[in-house]
């Protein structure tokens, strides 16, 4: 055996000479290679699996032979017997380097692995969670060593993992003694790493604990609360769930809730209690869905708008109701889960993403984190639609943000047959411009409603309502099919030529789905629904225009649409609706729930937290509530798509009939433009 | 006016040239002079009062004239009108330096003043509390400055006081908004300074808050809990109180309580709850006594032995019951007052002094902090007597410590008429060797019992029992007066020649006070009481011998006696009792409650906390429970003063009759040695 061997690690390409006989794990550490390990080289955790590559490597100027690694030792043999060593893989902590070698570190063994998100943009998520677990052997107490159990645990973490400055809450401290003994002085320490380099003991489990560490990412909206249960090991979403914000009974929009708090003694506290109960329920739903124990959730992030932020924390939201809208606190917060009564691991910390300013909250910050407008060469508009729309417009030079009060229509509230995005909700709609007959797709069912077998799969009463993305589509489709005119008026059966337009008092409704024969609901879109959508989309549009004014641009180059509701928003339908200003449909993409994604990114990566904390300092907020032009933009945006803007970039994609149902009944003018 | 003037500050002697016209406060800050200020130079707090000294100062080579300071400005005039400027004093923040000056900073204006303790040793206590208050002006919110209320408060503290890295718990955060507005953007911030340089907002009060900041120092003993309410401004004790540890019902000594916890499911929790209730009661007592609100208590320190430490924190004490006695945690702890359910300011932190090791606890650490054996040239023994005696023997080279289980006799428990040190308790006793008649002094009454007017002052039933220091004295006096022999046996009336010795079953009791004619109690010392005291004092003596063995010395040069019970222990009586090994009585001093003093020092000074945290690392603990020689020392110490040691150093101070009541009744041998 030579004294030294050359080792090259792929895919990083890191290389160097190391003493012969050293373990692959130790060599990786010496060379700064990103090779995982939880058990610290005891051959237990299998996080350090590596693959020796055999062959001649001209690129590296070396040969990696079949004898480059030591034979399987006892530990590896036992591991292979019990758990099975995958083909061509070795335990990095056991295999020793005997000759020059090229060693591949597969993605599953990389500590800071990059996880590709399966979105249109195919961006990657860096895994660098704040909480990790470490297996340690702790010295037993003796008369000679008079130190405490906690001291010996701290020493072990310092010595075996380089973790310094360990602190622990009393709730965990009281269990240290017992767990050390139960684990026979071998324990798994769940450690939260703080930005200042110190470490907090979140939990301690006897022996080598194989349970996955879970994180909780919450997008706390005005109308809906969405949550993801995420593996802190690889960033996978193990469960997603949502519920209506129980605060809805105190007011559908934020300002009603602020008023409720002002008008009713103890009202703010009532709302705080109710949203906390909602979060607890969400945790229960998510744990049940994933079949995992809520105690395994050791970290959490929350994004929300400033009013929800204050109402969740128990801060008085009144100041947010009047200029200059100062939040009580806007910086990122690390709170004990128990302070917010969130029933996850009692040692867990909840990370609240920072607010930007005024009414521009952590949800906007999370959108920035997710969509990175500050890295775009040309200005990009990101719109996250909810009961408030968070709008961000920026490029490398600067980023502007505002929040626009859309109301809950896009989340299915205030809509006759609106509902939260959940199985049974209509999420996609198409209307034939000739026959005026609709077809649609329902969450949880692959087939469209006009495909064979749909009725059988969906069953009686299986279509329950319309969710946000469905609402956007149906209004746009009604416009394109000539069922509704530019002003938003639904035509009569005579004007539209379809019996699906039915009289509903002095206005007309469009029947999307009639399940009454099976005892199910008749799902219609009423004139009132259209008015609600018009108000909502005008608010979004006006917010976008306001940002463009401030940015000094007249046209949008690129738009990203996001929202917590249902499937991705259809760019074309959003344009037909005029929810966003005129833009080439090919340059509008959909990003799902950007705020929720931002919450997940902050959950998976400490770097992401640092990044957004730095970013919020650089974002300029625009207050829609006091911007003189907002009202003017809002009124002009009421028409569908717009009163004055011709939306030229839609030409070639769709044709919008120029009709008006204001004229006398029967005089149904129609022109294609 | 010259450009620059020379200023000399006394008593520090700091001097330097400063620009003419500068305020005395600013000059003091520039020159690093310790001049206090809470309001930051607004002429409100009067903490910066200074006294210009007029005259020629050869020592300083300068003259300080009557015009060295500017005339009273409006602020000072108003202050003088409303609150009155003391003679010869000026507000340092208002008076400006116009010519060379000698300025005296009186003790009341020194930030880090030294407070002389009124004890025999006349040591000083440095004021450097972890919690201080600061008056700040906070910027109002504006549309231009979109920062949060908390951010603007942080900025104000950074800018006006150099306080960086402000953090706050949610409970305080929720009040920031309202307090800022109530105070008209002027608020008093109560700040806790952490060792890492960061600061925590403990409380926020509108305007300039004049309420004193209070601290709570607790000596949590096995039998009694003693507490002091201390001004964090000047270290004064504003109230002192004590109560029996409610855990007594679970066992009088620590090992009984550990057993109770082992034998009864939930028993440890019951004991934790009960001691916390006790602490809450103590806080109520202290606040009532001082007539102050418990919310004003913004800092607290607790010293206790390891078992009480574990039982208070809710840590399982079982391991402390068996070798090698590892504590669950021994380092100093900063806990939220709410975690321990102590009803003081919700933002307050409780500082638990560090344990040393095994059974040697924070009470021993506090004794070291108070008595500083590590600074002594010759070995000094410090004994803190309680239900456990904490013994420390050390000099500059090393410090040894042990804890010896005395039982609760010295605290008045297990003694027929024993009681806690409180008004009505006998604390001093003398017995005439000729007449065998006793006289005594009672806590709360200045006169001795044989002085005129005593009966009137004390009233019927006013003498209620005997406290610790009284118990030590009466047993020693009985020995000196020949009422009790060396073995501890009380003689018959015939043997002793006094009718105060009365038959009590098969043994005799000595009547100390008979109040039965007035319907009060008959206070006696029984044979059983003597046996309990013998066990207790032997444990102390044996612990001291064990430390001497380990230290390698045969004789004590100096002893400090301390204890939480009643007045100071009488050195001579402690020696006659043989509670401590033979020593020149002139070299035995009494220090009151050393552990309690240590708790107060840690409360008043961050430097003291750092000091004791460093010291505990250097102290060697000796475990009495497993030391082979302990039992032997214990048995030999059962006689009074000792079976084999003649206590030669007592000669010339007292004479101990050589009598034995074991011999036939009536054969009362008596010799003076």
Q: Cα–chain-centroid distance for residue A323?
A: 31
3-state DSSP assignment of residue B588: strand
Residues B364, B350 contacting (CB under 8 angstroms): no
Cα–Cα distance for residue pair B471/B20, rounded to 1 Å: 67
Q: Is A341 in CB contact (< 8 Å) with chain B?
A: no
**Using the beta-carbon criterion (under 8 Å), do B314 and A142 form an inter-chain contact?**
no
Residue found under tokens 């469009």: A510
Q: Name the residue in chain B with its Cα closest to that of A140.
A: B326
Q: Are residues A78 and A172 in the same domain?
A: no
Q: Which of A329, A621, A622 to mutate to test the interface with B (most CBs of B within 10 A)?
A: A329
* A150 vs B142, B314, B329: nearest CB: B329
pLDDT in tens, A132-156: 999 999 999 998 887 999 999 999 9
Q: Are residues B36 and B104 in the same domain?
A: yes
* B328 vs A150, A169, A330: nearest CB: A150
Residue A120 has pLDDT above 50, yes or no: no
Q: Is B324 in CB contact (< 8 Å) with chain A?
A: yes
Cα–Cα distance for residue pair A75/A93, rounded to 1 Å: 10
Whose CA is closest to B317, among A177, A182, A152? A177
pLDDT in tens, B579-605: 999 999 999 998 888 999 999 999 999
**A17-21, A57-61, A404-408, B509-513, range with the lowest pLDDT:** A57-61
pLDDT of residue A458: 86
Q: Is A321 in CB contact (< 8 Å) with chain B?
A: no
Residue A100 has pLDDT above 70, yes or no: yes
Spell out which residues of chain B touch residue A142, defining contact as CB-CB under 8 Å.
Answer: 324
Size of interface A-B (CB pairs under 8 A): 117
Residue B632: which domain range? 365-402+538-650
Spell out which residues of chain A touch residue B141, defining contact as CB-CB under 8 Å.
Answer: 319, 324-326
Spell out which residues of chain A touch residue B330, defining contact as CB-CB under 8 Å.
Answer: 147-148, 150-151
Spell out which residues of chain B touch residue A146, defining contact as CB-CB under 8 Å.
Answer: 324, 326, 356-358, 621
Count Cβ atoms within 10 A of the Cβ of residue B572 and give its class: 0-12 exposed, 13-18 middle, 19 or more buried. Answer: middle
pLDDT in tens, B452-465: 989 888 887 789 99
Whose CA is closest to A341, among A286, A274, A290, A291? A274
Q: Are residues A329 and A231 in the same domain?
A: yes
Q: Is B331 in CB contact (< 8 Å) with chain A?
A: yes
Whose CA is closest to A493, among A336, A252, A666? A666
Task: Report the DSSP pairing between strands B214-220 and A62-64.
Answer: unpaired
**Alpha-carbon torsion angle B326, B331, B337, B338, nearest 10:** -50
For chain A, the maximum distance between any two Cα atoms, rounded to a whole number of angstroms, is 101
Spell out which residues of chain A touch residue B314, defining contact as CB-CB under 8 Å.
Answer: 170, 174
Task: Report the DSSP pairing between strands B237-244 and B399-405.
Answer: unpaired
Cα–Cα distance for residue pair A295/B9, rounded to 1 Å: 61
Q: Name the residue in chain B with its Cα closest to that of A150.
A: B329
- The string of DSSP codes covering A574-612 is HHHHTSS-S--GGGEEE-S-HHHHHHHHHHHBHHHHHHH
Q: In the predicted model, what is the mean pLDDT of residues A163-191?
A: 95
Q: Which of A177, A200, A359 to mutate to test the interface with B (most CBs of B within 10 A)?
A: A177
Q: Is A164 in CB contact (< 8 Å) with chain B?
A: no
3-state DSSP assignment of residue B270: helix
> A residues 102-161 near B, CB within 8 Å?
141-143, 146-152
**Alpha-carbon torsion angle B504, B508, B513, B515, nearest 10:** 20
- The string of DSSP codes covering B553-571 is -SS-SEEEEEESSSSPPPH
A302 CA to chain B: closest CA distance, Å? 16
Peptide bond into B641 cis (omega under 30): yes
**Using the beta-carbon criterion (under 8 Å), do A173 and B329 form an inter-chain contact?**
yes
Q: Which of B139, B177, B266 to mutate to test the interface with A (most CBs of A within 10 A)?
A: B177
pLDDT of residue A455: 85
- The string of DSSP codes covering A438-476 is EEEEETT--SBTTSTTHHHHH-TT---EE-HHHHHHHHH
Helix (H), strand (E) at residue B180: helix B170-182
pLDDT in tens, A235-288: 889 998 888 899 988 988 888 999 999 899 999 999 999 999 999 999 999 999
Residue A667 has pLDDT above 70, yes or no: no
What residues of chain B score a pLDDT lower than 70?
112-125, 564-567, 663-673
Q: Is B329 in CB contact (< 8 Å) with chain A?
A: yes
Residues A135, A37 contacting (CB under 8 angstroms): no
Q: Is A323 in CB contact (< 8 Å) with chain B?
A: yes
Cα–Cα distance for residue pair B176/B154, rounded to 1 Å: 11
Q: Is A623 in CB contact (< 8 Å) with chain B?
A: yes
Give the CATH number for residue B42: 3.10.20.30
Of B145, B172, B206, the last residue of a domain is B206
* A146 vs B169, B178, B358: nearest CB: B358
Give the CA distances from residue B35 to residues A204, B6, B29, B228, in Å, rounded to whole numbers and listed in that order. 49, 18, 8, 27
Task: Report how far apart the first and last C-alpha atoms of chain A are (Å, whole number).
Answer: 83
**Using the beta-carbon criterion (under 8 Å), do B355 and A148 form an inter-chain contact?**
yes
* B326 vs A141, A316, A626: nearest CB: A141
Spell out which residues of chain A touch residue B326, defining contact as CB-CB under 8 Å.
Answer: 141, 146-149, 152
For residue B333 the two structure tokens come to 């702890």
Q: Name the residue in chain B with its Cα closest to that of A311.
A: B174
pLDDT of residue B664: 46
pLDDT of residue A567: 56
Q: What is the mean pLDDT of chain A?
A: 90
Cα–Cα distance for residue pair B367/B663, rounded to 1 Å: 44
B328 CA to chain A: closest CA distance, Å? 5
Query: Could you tell me which residues come within 8 angstroms of residue A258 by beta carbon, excluding any fewer than 6 positions away?
Result: A307, A317, A318, A320, A321
Q: Are residues B396 and B542 in the same domain?
A: yes
Of B174, B206, B238, the last residue of a domain is B206
**Using the beta-carbon criterion (under 8 Å), do B143 and A355 form an inter-chain contact?**
no
Residues B268, B317 contacting (CB under 8 angstroms): yes
The Cβ of residue A197 has, within 10 Å, a number of other Cβ atoms equal to 9
Q: Is residue A171 part of a domain?
A: yes
Q: Name the residue in chain A with its Cα closest to that of B323.
A: A143
**Using the beta-carbon criterion (under 8 Å), do A173 and B339 form an inter-chain contact?**
no
**Using the beta-carbon criterion (under 8 Å), do B339 and A176 form an inter-chain contact?**
no
Q: Are residues A173 and A261 in the same domain?
A: no
Helix (H), strand (E) at residue B29: helix B24-30
Q: Are residues B618 and B472 in the same domain?
A: no
Query: Could you tell me which residues come within 8 angstroms of residue B232 by beta carbon, excluding any fewer than 6 positions away?
Result: B129, B131, B132, B212, B213, B214, B215, B298, B299, B603, B604
> B residues 534-563 near A, CB within 8 Å?
none
Q: Name the residue in chain A with its Cα closest to that of B177.
A: A328
Q: Is residue A58 part of a domain?
A: yes
Cα–Cα distance for residue pair B339/B341, rounded to 1 Å: 5
Residue A464 has pLDDT above 80, yes or no: yes
Q: Is residue B76 part of a domain?
A: yes
Give the CA distances from residue B606 to residues A427, B163, B603, in Å, rounded to whole numbers and listed in that order. 63, 17, 8
Q: Is A316 in CB contact (< 8 Å) with chain B?
A: yes
Residues A169, A175 contacting (CB under 8 angstroms): no
Give the CATH number for residue A355: 3.30.420.480
pLDDT of residue B113: 62
**Using the beta-carbon criterion (under 8 Å), do A319 and B170 form an inter-chain contact?**
no
Tally of domains in chain A: 4
Q: Is residue A267 part of a domain?
A: yes
Cα–Cα distance for residue pair B670/B657, rounded to 1 Å: 6
pLDDT of residue A176: 96
Q: Is residue A192 part of a domain?
A: yes
Q: Is residue A185 part of a domain?
A: yes
Dump strand ranges (E) for A24-93: 49-53, 55-57, 62-64, 90-91
pLDDT of residue A453: 87
Whose CA is closest to A305, among A204, A391, A244, A230? A391
Residues A444, A457 contacting (CB under 8 angstroms): no
Q: Are residues A192 and A237 in the same domain?
A: no
Supply φ then ψ for residue A103, to 5 degrees: -120, 125
**Using the beta-carbon criterion (under 8 Å), do A143 and B323 form an inter-chain contact?**
yes
Q: Are residues B510 and B544 in the same domain?
A: no
Residues A421, A566 contacting (CB under 8 angstroms): yes
Of A302, A334, A359, the last residue of a domain is A359
| Helix B306-313 / helix B267-290 crossing angle, nearest 10 deg | 90
| Helix B170-182 / helix B149-161 crossing angle, nearest 10 deg | 80
* B315 vs A174, A335, A339: nearest CB: A174
A263 CA to chain B: closest CA distance, Å? 17
Q: Is A329 in CB contact (< 8 Å) with chain B?
A: yes
pTM above 0.80, yes or no: yes
Q: Are residues A13 and A31 in the same domain?
A: yes
Give the CA distances from residue B303 to residues B292, B313, B367, B385, B594, in Å, rounded to whole numbers and listed in that order. 23, 12, 10, 14, 11
Task: Report the DSSP pairing between strands A124-126 and A114-116.
Answer: antiparallel
Q: Are residues A604 and A644 in the same domain?
A: yes
Task: Report the DSSP pairing between strands B124-126 and B114-116.
Answer: antiparallel
B634 CA to chain A: closest CA distance, Å? 22
Q: Is residue B338 part of a domain?
A: no
Give the CATH number for residue B168: 3.10.20.880
Cα–Cα distance for residue pair B388/B367, rounded to 1 Å: 13
Q: Are residues A353 and A369 in the same domain?
A: no
Spell out which residues of chain B touch residue A323, defining contact as CB-CB under 8 Å.
Answer: 143
Residues A556, A381 contacting (CB under 8 angstroms): yes
Cα–Cα distance for residue pair A330/A354, rounded to 1 Å: 6
Give the CA distances from residue B346 to residues A296, A493, B203, B582, in Å, rounded to whole numbers and listed in that order. 30, 68, 8, 50
Q: Is residue A531 part of a domain?
A: no
**Using the beta-carbon criterion (under 8 Å), do A335 and B170 form an inter-chain contact?**
yes
Q: Which of B154, B187, B328, B625 to mutate to test the interface with A (most CBs of A within 10 A)?
A: B328
More confident position, B12 or A494 = A494
Whose CA is closest to B11, among B109, B125, B142, B98? B109
Please, which residues bridge with residue A335 across strands? Answer: A350
pLDDT of residue B413: 83
Q: Are residues A181 and A251 in the same domain?
A: no
pLDDT of residue B671: 47
Spell out which residues of chain B touch residue A313, defining contact as CB-CB under 8 Å.
Answer: 170, 173-174
Give the CA distances from residue B177 to residues A265, A332, B183, B428, in Å, rounded to whole numbers and listed in that order. 17, 17, 10, 57
3-state DSSP assignment of residue B8: strand
Long-range contacts of A630-634 (CB under 8 A, 24+ apart): A630/A542, A630/A543, A630/A546, A631/A542, A633/A541, A633/A542, A633/A545, A633/A546, A634/A538, A634/A539, A634/A541, A634/A542
**Using the beta-carbon criterion (under 8 Å), do A174 and B323 form an inter-chain contact?**
no
């Amino acid at each position: 055996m030579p004294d030294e061997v050359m080792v090259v690690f792929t895919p990083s390409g890191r290389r160097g000479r190391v003493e012969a006989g050293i373990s692959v794990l130790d060599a990786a550490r010496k060379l700064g290679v990103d090779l995982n390990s939880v058990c610290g080289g005891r051959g237990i955790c299998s996080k350090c699996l590596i693959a020796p590559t055999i062959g001649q490597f001209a690129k590296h100027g070396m040969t990696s032979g079949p004898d480059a690694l030591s034979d399987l030792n006892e530990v590896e043999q036992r591991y292979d017997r019990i758990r099975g060593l995958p083909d061509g893989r070795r335990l990095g902590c056991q295999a020793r380097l005997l000759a020059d070698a090229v060693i591949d570190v597969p993605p599953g063994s990389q500590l800071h692995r990059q996880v590709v998100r399966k979105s249109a943009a195919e961006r990657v998520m860096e895994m660098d969670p704040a909480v990790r677990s470490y297996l340690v052997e702790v010295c037993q107490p003796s008369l000679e060593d008079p130190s405490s159990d906690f001291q010996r645990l701290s020493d072990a973490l310092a010595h075996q993992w380089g973790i310094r400055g360990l602190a622990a809450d009393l709730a965990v401290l009281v269990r240290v003694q017992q767990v050390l003994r139960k684990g026979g002085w071998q324990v798994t320490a769940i450690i939260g790493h703080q930005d200042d380099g110190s470490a907090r003991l979140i939990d301690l489990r006897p022996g080598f604990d194989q349970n996955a560490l879970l994180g909780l990412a919450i997008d706390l909206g005005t109308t809906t609360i969405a949550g993801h249960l995420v593996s802190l090991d690889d960033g996978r979403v193990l469960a997603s769930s949502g519920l209506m914000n129980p605060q809805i009974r105190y007011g559908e929009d934020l300002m009603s809730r602020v008023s409720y708090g002002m008008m009713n003694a103890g009202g703010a506290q009532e709302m705080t209690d109710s949203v906390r109960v909602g979060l607890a329920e969400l945790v229960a739903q998510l744990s049940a869905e994933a079949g995992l124990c809520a105690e395994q959730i050791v970290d959490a992030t929350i994004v929300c708008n400033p009013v929800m932020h204050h109402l969740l924390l128990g801060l008085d939201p009144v100041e947010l109701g009047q200029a200059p809208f100062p939040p009580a606190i806007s910086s990122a917060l690390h709170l004990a889960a128990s302070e917010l009564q969130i029933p996850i691991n009692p040692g867990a910390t909840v990370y609240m993403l920072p607010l930007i300013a005024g009414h521009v909250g952590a949800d906007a910050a999370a959108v920035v984190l997710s969509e990175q407008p500050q890295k775009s060469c040309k200005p990009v508009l990101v719109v996250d639609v909810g009961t408030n729309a968070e709008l961000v417009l920026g490029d490398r030079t600067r980023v502007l943000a505002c929040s626009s009060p859309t109301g809950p229509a896009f989340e299915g509230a205030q809509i006759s047959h609106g509902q939260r995005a959940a199985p049974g909700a209509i999420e996609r709609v198409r209307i034939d411009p000739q026959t005026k007959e609709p077809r649609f797709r329902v969450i949880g069912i692959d087939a469209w409603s006009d495909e064979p077998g749909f009725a059988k799969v969906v069953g009686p009463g299986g279509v329950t309502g319309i969710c946000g993305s469905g609402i956007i589509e149906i209004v746009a489709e009604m416009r394109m099919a000539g069922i509704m005119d530019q002003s938003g008026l639904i035509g009569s059966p005579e004007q539209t030529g379809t019996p699906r337009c039915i009289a509903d008092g002095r206005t007309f409704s469009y029947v999307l789905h009639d399940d009454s024969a099976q005892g199910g609901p008749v799902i219609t879109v009423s004139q009132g629904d259209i008015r609600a959508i018009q108000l909502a989309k005008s608010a979004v549009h006006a917010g976008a225009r306001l940002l463009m004014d401030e940015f000094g641009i007249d046209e949008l180059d690129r738009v990203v649409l996001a929202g917590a509701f249902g499937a991705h928003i259809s760019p074309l339908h959003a344009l037909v609706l005029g929810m966003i200003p005129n833009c080439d449909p090919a340059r509008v993409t959909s990003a799902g729930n950007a705020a929720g994604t931002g919450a997940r990114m902050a959950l998976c990566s400490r770097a992401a937290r640092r990044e957004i904390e730095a970013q919020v300092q650089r974002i300029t907020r625009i207050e829609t509530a006091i911007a003189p032009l907002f009202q003017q933009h809002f009124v002009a945006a009421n028409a569908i798509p717009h009163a004055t803007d011709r939306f030229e970039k839609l030409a070639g994609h769709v044709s919008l009939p120029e009709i008006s149902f204001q004229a006398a009944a029967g005089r149904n003018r129609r022109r294609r433009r």
